[in-house]
Structure 1
């Protein structure tokens, strides 16, 4: 079984979202998902896939170094770095 990679910090990112006034609609557009999906992520009903976590971090203005802080695998770090710079 593969380990799931996650940079998701629902509580912190939710607080950042609220302070910055980023809407669920803006997050949905950045992730290209149904408008109700981000609300489920932020309410804890579901967890976003890594590609959506990276997109959310970008929308929220979370620095790349913060996103990478818990990731040790160099391949995963490189993939996240590439996705973040798209």
Structure 2
């Protein structure tokens, strides 16, 4: 699956992160990346891979239905659903 699939919404997710008091370090641990990486994602210096987007959504408590809202391809939806529920 080489398509450019993204569920990343930096502005909304940043607001959720701040309201919930979730640190960049906590997101890094949830995504299994270096501690400075999530900060770069939220500053717009880099974009997270889909697997990191899913892990971040789970850590932020974003519902699966919100993640799938704009994804129309049933195969991609199935992959995301499977990854989200792991």
TM-score, scaled to structure 1: 0.96
1:41 and 2:48 correspond: no
Q: List gaps (5 residues or longer) in structure 2.
A: none
Indicate the SS of the match to 1:29.
helix
By how many angstroms is 1:3 displaced? 3.6
Indicate the SS of the match to 2:7.
coil
Determine the C-alpha separation between the residues in 2 that align with 1:3 and 1:23. 30
Q: List gaps (5 residues or longer) in structure 1.
A: none
Determine the C-alpha separation between the residues in 2 that align with 1:25 and 1:36. 8
**Other-structure match for 2:51:** 51
TM-score, scaled to structure 2: 0.96
Determine the C-alpha separation between the residues in 2 that align with 1:56 and 1:70. 17
Root mean square deviation, CA, Å: 0.8
Determine the C-alpha separation between the residues in 2 that align with 1:75 and 1:22. 31
1:69 and 2:69 correspond: yes
